[in-house]
Every structure is written in structure tokens, then in C-alpha cells.
Amino acid sequence: MKSERFLKFTRAVNYTNPYRDIDIHVIPSDRFRITFMVEYNLPALGANTRRFITWKKILLLKLLPLELFVF
């Protein structure tokens, strides 16, 4: 069984590559959270953003309120 490895950030870390139009920002937090944004060069698509906060919170806020019907 593999042991899990974690990185703990104690300060903000930024990476920018203007030639590939990439920006990555890591900000310290006491909880696991990811915000992901993609900007397309097509006006019809614009930008899409998704945010993921700890799995427990996703379960409580997004999945449990859903009414699921299985036949």
C-alpha cells in the first residue's frame, strides 16, 4: 500500500507563463479547495469557472438536496 504524501503551503505561490496564457495561484488554507477557470478565445463560450470545496461540503450542499429516482 502506498503512503500518502501531502504538500503544505505556508505562503502564496504563483506561476505565470504569458506565452501559453497560463496562471496558477496557490493560496494557503486550512481546508481543501480548488477553483478552476478556463477562458476560451471564442466569445460564444466565454469563461467557465468551477469551484470544489472539501468533499463533505460538496456532499451536503450539492448531492444530498437532489431527489434521485431509480426505476
The pLDDT averaged over each successive group of 10 residues in the chain (71 residues) is: 78 90 85 77 81 66 55 39
Q: Is residue 43 part of a domain?
A: yes
* Residue 41 DSSP class: S
Domain residues for the domain of 52 are: 13-62
Q: Is residue 51 part of a domain?
A: yes
Q: Is residue 24 part of a domain?
A: yes
Q: Is residue 8 part of a domain?
A: no
Q: Which helix (H) or strand (E) is 57 found in, with range?
A: helix 55-58
Q: Is residue 41 part of a domain?
A: yes
Are 15 and 27 contacting, i.e. CB atoms less than 8 angstroms apart? no
Q: Which residues lie below 8 Å from residue 14, measured CB to CB, with a gap of 6+?
A: 23, 24, 25, 26
What is the number of structural domains in the chain? 1
pLDDT of residue 71: 39
Q: Is residue 3 part of a domain?
A: no
